[in-house]
């Protein structure tokens, strides 16, 4: 099955690509805007589209509008369009967490660290994670530092440890 992805957050888009390809789907295109979705659908004629409803520039309903327009312009080209939610919802993240929890690389993380990593994978900032978990940003920073240490992610000018941690979480 050929799929087009429209997701503005790089980590989520990359995680979706990896997850879909690992399960035998062909990702024809992965874009970060509604106009990009329309162009990709016109070019690739996918069987399905995974669409974040809130895309740039206003982050309100650009993805939904683009998906509806794609269906109008190319009836039958999309058999299924994600509507009413984001491309990577918390339920999917939870399933990935359950699948990866026993992996040796993530097995050393505490339940709280796994929760922080799950929220990082959803694209949340430290402030948003703190608010969601009802803890301080400093506590989030401590959990994040511990995650980096347990995953063997040393400070580096060349690498983004947050991105590497999320990729490990997504089963890279």
Mind listing the pLDDT tens digit for each residue in 31-45? 999 999 999 998 998
Question: What pTM, to 2 d.p., does this model score?
Answer: 0.47
Give residue 94's pLDDT band: very low, low, confident or very high (50, 70, 90).
low
Distant-in-sequence contacts of 96-104, Cβ < 8 A, 24+ apart: 96/19, 96/121, 96/169, 96/170, 96/171, 97/169, 99/171, 100/169, 100/170, 100/171, 103/171
Per domain, the residue ranges of the chain are 2-81, 90-169
What's residue 160's pLDDT? 87
Task: Say whether domain 2-81 belongs to CATH 3.40.50.2300.
Answer: yes
Domains 2-81 and 90-169 are alike in CATH topology:
yes
Query: How confident is the model at residue 69, as a pLDDT?
Result: 83
Mean pLDDT of the 79-105 span? 48
**Which class is 90-169 in CATH?**
alpha beta
pLDDT band at residue 87 using 50, 70 and 90 as cut-offs: very low
């Amino acid at each position: 099955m050929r799929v087009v992805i429209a997701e503005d957050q790089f980590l989520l888009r990359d995680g979706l690509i990896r997850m879909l390809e690992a399960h035998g789907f062909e990702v024809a295109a992965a874009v970060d805007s509604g106009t990009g979705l329309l162009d990709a659908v016109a070019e690739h004629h996918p069987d399905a589209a995974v669409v974040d409803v809130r895309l740039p520039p206003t982050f309100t309903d650009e993805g939904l509008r683009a998906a509806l327009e794609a269906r109008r312009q190319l009836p039958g080209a999309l058999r299924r369009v994600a509507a009413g939610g984001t491309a990577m919802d918390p339920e999917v993240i939870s399933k990935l967490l359950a699948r990866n929890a026993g992996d040796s690389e993530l097995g050393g993380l505490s339940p709280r660290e796994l929760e922080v990593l799950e929220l990082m994978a959803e694209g949340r900032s430290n402030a948003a994670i703190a608010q969601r978990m009802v803890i301080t940003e400093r506590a989030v920073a401590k959990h994040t530092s511990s995650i980096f240490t347990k995953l063997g992610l040393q400070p580096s000018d060349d690498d983004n440890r947050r991105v590497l941690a999320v990729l490990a979480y997504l089963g890279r």
